[in-house]
């Protein structure tokens, strides 16, 4: 085992200083095309049983964000036919927050029975964490968000998702408007048992 203290310290710093920054607290600049390419290359290093790559990412440009805003509004209307105009507007503008917005999708199609659904979701989680840490290393803030609209037929239709694909979360990237203290993490003894 090599004694690369600097690498260990850098790795620990990235992990322990990464924190959620909500999309409305992110501003330009966000990652440019070359930086996004590097973030997705980091995602590609995730564990992947049988090398299925059971996930993909959609970087939502202006037209896609417009479609997303319509999905958010219509999903709210379906859930609450009495939604007020200001609530519908709040739903609409969520699609335009943060400089970069990415949709993370898991592929649950049963094309390899040796890799169950939970492993595919786990692989996506690892890919997302790699991406978040790579963003942190480049000085960007990030946040994950979800919501009930993700699980509607509207979302599948708006983004041409195949049967068996499931959108899992949005990833927002940009520059945090302000720094916040790191939230307390649980003590190791709270979630680890040695048996």
Of the listed ranges 26-35, 50-59, 68-77, 166-175, the one predicted with least confidence: 50-59
pLDDT of 1 above 70: no
- Residue 192 burial (C-beta neighbours within 10 Å; 0-12, 13-18, 19+): exposed
Q: What is the mean pLDDT of the chain?
A: 93
pLDDT of 76 above 80: yes
- Residue-level pLDDT at 178: 86
**Mean pLDDT in residue range 85-112:** 93
Find out whether 144 is annotated in a ligand binding site.
yes
Find out whether 179 is annotated in a ligand binding site.
no
Q: Around 141, how many Cα atoms within 13 Å sit in the side-chain half-sphere? A: 22
- What CATH number belongs to 20-177? 3.40.109.10
- Residue-level pLDDT at 110: 66
Minimal CA–CA distance to 30: which of 131, 182, 173, 190? 173
Find out whether 145 is annotated in a ligand binding site.
yes
pLDDT of 109 above 90: no
């Amino acid at each position: 085992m090599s004694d690369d203290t600097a690498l260990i310290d850098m790795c620990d710093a990235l992990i322990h200083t990464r924190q959620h920054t909500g999309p409305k607290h992110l501003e330009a600049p966000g990652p440019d095309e070359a930086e996004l390419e590097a973030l997705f290359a980091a995602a590609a290093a995730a564990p992947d049983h049988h090398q299925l790559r059971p996930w993909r990412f959609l970087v939502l440009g202006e037209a896609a964000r417009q479609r997303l805003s319509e999905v958010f509004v219509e999903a709210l209307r379906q859930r609450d036919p009495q939604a007020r105009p200001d609530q519908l507007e709040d739903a609409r503008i969520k699609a335009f927050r943060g400089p970069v917005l990415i949709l993370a999708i898991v592929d649950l199609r049963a094309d390899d029975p040796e890799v169950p659904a939970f492993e595919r979701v786990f692989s996506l989680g690892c890919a997302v964490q790699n991406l978040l840490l790579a963003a942190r290393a480049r000085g960007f803030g990030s946040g994950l968000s979800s919501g009930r609209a993700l699980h509607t037929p509207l979302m599948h239709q708006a983004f041409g998702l195949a049967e068996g694909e499931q959108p899992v979360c949005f990833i927002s990237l940009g520059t945090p408007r302000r720094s916040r203290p790191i939230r307390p993490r649980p003590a190791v003894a709270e979630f680890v048992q040695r048996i």
